[in-house]
Amino acid sequence: MGEQQEVIAELRAGGVLAGIRWAYESAVRRSLESFCEDDGHDHAWLGMTRFTLFRDRLDRVFSCERYAVSIDDGTRDADVLYAELSEHDLTTMPRIAPGHVTRTDLYGSAGWTYGDRRFLLAAGEFGRLRTLPWSERSTTKQIVAMQVSPDPHPRQPSLFEEVPADGSTPFDELLRAAQRHLDPVTYMVAHSLDATTGDAELLFGRPKLNVRGDPAWHWHEDLLAIPLAGTGEPGAAEPGSADSGSGDPGTADLGAPAEARHQDPGASAVPDAAVRLRVVKGERLRDSG
């Protein structure tokens, strides 16, 4: 089994990929609902809002940061966890036991870890995620893209190529940092959004430092295209759910907010179809596609 198949199978079984997709679709919906050019919003505003909401939703679904379980009594505040989430978000939010995924930032860049695998976030231009120019990104992302390849005989870049575009950090320093084997191994979740059509992209993979048209990924997976089971589907309970047998009190005892308690907990599967959102003359339309 290759690295891609192993990583995707592990993160899918752990509910991590479902959590990532739920978080991103929630962030896209909410940012498009708020986006209004007549109110002075531009693409920079939309991008920053989407990133902020994406980070927030990841912390929510994985019980990190302000949504973490209380050290004192082992519970978390459901009202805080569910605050400002739409009814759709509430009914599709995967149930993942607190502690399965932890917040582990890398050099100030937001990151999350499951087992021995960490992922960071990288925004990109719609339609160009597969050719992201890592050499033009932050030093942190360049280091991640320069990790030792899963290929048993990787080609190491020359000192005279793939130099950071801004010249801020000498290439040999980046290479030494990457060769120290980031612990844990770090992957990227790349995301983009077309503000006009509402179409979104979401990739998970191992980045590769690229120049001169070289591939930007050792491998990547389209998280909006693969089936991801959520809590409540037969045989596919998320870690810590009532059916998983983990007995984790942080998840089993978590109640829904009052206005959402009528919802069927078995309906908390992230939809297999990617959600497309459009803004048409200030109105939000949603269709599946």
25 found inside a domain: yes
Assess whether the previous peptide bond of 184 is cis (omega < 30° from 0): yes
250 found inside a domain: no
What is the number of structural domains in the chain? 1
Residue-wise burial string across 106-120, b where 16 or more C-beta atoms lie within 10 A, e elsewhere:
beebbbbbbeebbbb
Domain that holds residue 165: 3-62+100-228+270-288
What is the average per-residue pLDDT within 84-111? Answer: 95
- The number of angstroms, rounded, from the C-alpha of 255 to the middle of its chain's C-alpha atoms is 25
pLDDT per position as a tens digit, 261-272: 334 333 333 333
What confidence score (pLDDT) does residue 258 get? 43
State the pTM of this model. 0.74
122 found inside a domain: yes
Is pLDDT of 141 > 50? yes
155 or 261, which is more confident: 155
241 found inside a domain: no
249 found inside a domain: no
Q: Percentage of the chain with pLDDT > 90?
A: 53
On whether the CB atoms of residues 107 and 140 are closer than 8 A, the answer is yes
110 found inside a domain: yes
Pairing of strands 117-123, 111-114: antiparallel
251 or 71, which is more confident: 71
What is the average per-residue pLDDT within 116-137? Answer: 95
70 found inside a domain: no
According to DSSP, residue 109 is labeled B
Q: Percentage of the chain with pLDDT > 70?
A: 67
What confidence score (pLDDT) does residue 13 get? 96
